[in-house]
Structure 1
Amino acid sequence: MSPGHTGSGGEYQLLNGWKDIAAFFGKDERTVKRWEKLRGMPVQRMPGTKGTVFADRHALAAWLNMRGTQPGLDVRVLPRVHSGLNGARPSGEVHEPSMAARDLYLEGTYLWQKRTRASLTEAVAVLEKAVGLDPDYAQAHTALAVAHKLAGEYGATTQKLGYIRALDAVERAIALDPALDQAQTALANIEFFWLLQYDRALRRFEHARRLNPNSALTRHWFAEALLFAGYPREALAEIDQAQHLDPQSRSIISAKAYILFALGQMDTSEQMLLKLASNEPDYQMAYKGLAYLCLARGDGARYLEFLGRLESLHPSKAAREIIEAGRKGLSAGARTGMAEAMLSAARRHAETGEVPAYSLAHLFALNNDASGAAAHLQLALERYEGDVFDFIIDPAFRQVRTTPQFLKRVTQIGLPLVA
């Protein structure tokens, strides 16, 4: 979408030029230019032009919310996620979608539940057809929001683009039906993991759960938010309910294994993840969880083995070289040698962008470099990388997580602090 283009809802997705950006904030152009220079306000420049800027309105809202409301800002700059908490269903008859739109909705829901890059790409296409056929179909807009969010998480698109499109779709769903529990759930997930509005997101999850206590998606995503907010026992209660409601969901099983890992129940977590990896060999979350678990146990060889399996699902020359360097380092100098060798290999690829910022943060943490870990964690957040919250459970961060310099940096960028 080019700068200045409007979506079907009539609102700008991108703001074109300093005048529009300033109007978005209710400020003058000089002020917003100063914010870009001194406060890191996210704007972009058109290639091949001089001074022509544009900015995504959701990214500006997220930047604002990450830093707290600035004095004197017009409240209209906040995103439209403040609607829908009262759960009041619009007056009038319940909308009945067309049979064709319903069939597309059901197909798209099946596809996003598979959670692979290919299935999520297809789910987005199918659900866009559904809402195109029936623009008043709130459930289809909600499913589209979920598909966009997961597409970013699983690498079918960028994390940033996934969240932007998910927010747009879920806003449409809530405008059509504020009492739709899955729409409130999708919005709560966006508030927690993208807009960094933790308390608001947890309240919205509770609201969605009241709307429908039997929604597996709500229980599942609420559990993940509770885990990363520092409430693993409460997270376990929610994920148990989610698994009861949807025992076949591999994402719920992996989430439960991660929660059990955070609670120190490592044997049970390992058994679940090994079984999941055996039954679902194409599912990346099982291998990542097993890598974390082996690292926590000090088993460098198996840690590297599961990283290798993860890489085989999404081949990367840089990742292969980092893993191979780790094997050589482990052979020569145990865990310390492994950590140093992996970081050295990763640095050679860092400038090309082949190594995610979170992976570098993980390796700096593995080398007990709190400053490097925090700096790359911030970079991962700025790049909208989906793994950024993992530092809360990632055993590589065990030593650096409580150091003053790490805590200070994490507080400044707005990530949650969990002991």
Structure 2
Amino acid sequence: GDPAQEYFSDGLTEEMISQLGRLDPHYVGVIARTSVMHYKNTQTPLDQIGRELGVQYVIEGSVRRDAYDVRVTAQLIPTKDQAPIWARQYDREPKGVLALQGEIAQEIADEIQLTLGDHNSAAASKPTASPQNYETYDQYLKGQYFLNKRTAVDIRQAIAYFDEAIAKDANYARAYAGLADSYALMGGYTGRPPNEFMPQARTAALRALQLDDSLAEAHTALALIVQNYDWDWQTAEKEFRRAIELNPNYATAHHWYAEHLMWRGRFDEALQESERARQLDPLSLIIAADNGAILHFSRQYDRAIQKWHSVLEMDPDFSRAHLIRAAYVEKGMFVEGLADTERMRPVTPVPAYWSWLAYIYGRSGQIARSRHALDELRRSIRNEPVDAISVAWAYLGVGDNDQALAWFEKAYAQHSTELTSLKVNPGYDPLRGDPRFQDLLKRVGLAN
């Protein structure tokens, strides 16, 4: 209905999640907004919501607002018997509505703490600064929505929305953190050299921390940047852990920390962190897809394929889940791998498409077709910068390890984010006995 009421109700939902997340995380787990908003404007039964999200309680409420008054109703309902434990109605003047969101959310959090037991009231940290107006917050929410879609086009759209939010409120730290995340991920989804994006990512992350050093999102963004671009694994782990300490219910921190542990070959820990991320955001496609990646890189190909299939059933075009073709190759399912590559051709960067064809044809023994695809790849990058790892991948397919290693060196010079997978990617196994590859592993900080 009314956009102003949509802004207010969405903002209130976000603030409640943030406030509740500051309660004792060992006792109260709070589901992330991306999963919660799936049920907005639906008539889904509470017991079904409980099963799908794995929760015992649901906060249900409504907002009514006019020029003179704001009325918020809220009730805490167990999903089992659905008899409300408590219900409240808040009638306020609409002055400073963004501050009002935090005020009401804190009152609800206090009520829940009284109802469920005061386990650790000191666990709450200082509130996150709110934006100055609805429009800023709306742009921020749109940015997060497009960022979660994980395609090059959508991430560019996310950057535009975060930029608009910052233009409206230059002190809104969350918008800078979202901008940092977007730039940090852009290279991996465009196939272009990361040095085109990482300086902007770092600038945005550092600005977010300057504005609010208690913001878990900002520490998480910085962790990703120093991991993917600097290969500074110790600082990255410290920043991920700091983010989780600041907000144990921030799903993305657990999600990206799981990926960090995966790159370092710590698969059991990675799966534990991935499961925690899933618990906090059960309907997130990217968390599920990256769980499949952990299974793949730990050589559990059947489980990886099963996980990626479940994601593609929900969204057949979700790009990250199309890593399924890598598991197909390792299983010798070359027909399926080629079919997946062809199906995604319309939305795949041209160099990446030819790189995958060269690799899969080569692995399947179709060397002539592999070399043809390699030639097409070389032709496609004559006048376009590309992440050198795409070319290295193609040379691995045709079995030319010397050329593959030469292009790995170019990827190293570019600070390719794809080099984070050096230690665990099964596709690189033919190179592991080569001293040049071992030296590269050492330089990227993954030798141990």
Instruction: Letter of the 1:170 partner, please give it.
Output: A
Equivalent residue number for residue 364 of structure 1: 395
Higher CA-based Rg: 2
Gap regions ≥5 residues in structure 1: 1-91
**CA displacement, residues 72-107 of structure 1 (integer Å, 9 cap, x when unaligned):** xxxxxxxxxxxxxxxxxxxx9964421232222222
Identity among equivalent positions (%) equals: 27
Task: Find the residue that maps to 2:365 and give its secondary structure.
Answer: helix
1:173 alignment partner in structure 2? 208
CA distance in 2, matches of 1:366, 1:138: 44
- What is the CA-CA distance between 1:307 and the residue it aligns to? 2.5
* Aligned residue runs from structure 1 range 5-404, under 5 A: 95-100=129-134, 101-155=136-190, 159-287=194-322, 289-314=323-348, 316=350, 319=353, 323=357, 334=365, 342-343=373-374, 346=377, 351=382, 356-404=387-435
- For the Cα contact (< 8 Å) 2:173–2:208, is it kept in 1? yes
State the shift of 1:123 in Å: 1.7
CA distance in structure 2 between the partners assigned to 1:157 and 1:357 by the alignment: 9
Shift of 1:159: 2.7
Shift, 1:368, TM fit:
4.6
What SS is found at the alignment partner of 1:398? Answer: helix
> Which string of whole-angstrom CA distances, capped at 9 and with x for unpartnered residues, describes residues 394-415 of structure 1?
3321121232232124434x35
Distance 1:298 1:172 in 2: 47
Q: Give the direction of change, closer, same or farther, for the CA distance of 1:351–1:317 in structure 2 (3 Å limit).
A: closer
1:80 corresponds to which residue? Answer: none
Contact 1:371–1:406 (Cα < 8 Å) also in 2: no
Q: 1:401 to 1:305 in 2, by over 3 A?
A: farther
Tell whether the 8 Å contact from 2:191 to 2:352 is kept in structure 1 after alignment.
no
- Contact conserved, 2:223 with 2:240, CA < 8 A, in 1? yes
State the TM-score, normalizing by the size of structure 2: 0.64
Q: CA deviation at 1:281?
A: 2.1
Could you report, residue by residue, the CA deviation over 1:307-360 in whole angstroms, capped at 9, with x for unpaired residues? Answer: 323433226388459738965x78xx8366665665566456565558752122
Q: CA deviation at 1:290?
A: 1.3
Equivalent residue, structure 2, for 1:417: 447
Q: How many residues align?
A: 323
In the alignment, what sits opposite 1:81?
A: none
Residues 370 and 398, structure 2, Cα contact 8 Å, conserved in 1: yes
Give the deviation of 1:184 after TM superposition: 0.4
Q: Which amino acid aligns with 2:273?
A: E
Counterpart residue number, 2:86 = none
Do the aligned partners of 1:319 and 1:355 also contact (CA within 8 Å) in 2?
A: no
CA distance in 2, matches of 1:366, 1:323: 9
Separation (CA, whole Å) in 2 of partners of 1:403 and 1:223: 29
TM-score, normalised to structure 1, is 0.68
Cα separation, partners in 2 of 1:370 and 1:176, compared to 1, 3 Å: same
2-structure distance, mates of 1:321, 1:163: 23
Output the amino acid matched with 1:388: L
Residue 190 of structure 2 aligns to a residue whose secondary structure is: coil
Structure 2 CA distance for aligned equivalents of residues 305 and 362 of structure 1: 19
Instruction: Write the deviation string for residues 167-213 of structure 1: whole angstroms up to 9, x where unpaired.
Output: 11111111111111110010011011011111111111111111111
Matches of 2:369 and 2:432 in 1, distance apart? Answer: 20
**Contact conserved, 1:295 with 1:396, CA < 8 A, in 2?**
no
Secondary structure in 1 matching 2:164: helix
Contact 2:183–2:201 at 8 Å: present in 1 too? yes
Whether contact under 8 Å (2:220, 2:240) holds in the other structure is yes
Contact 1:325 1:338 in 2 (8 A): no
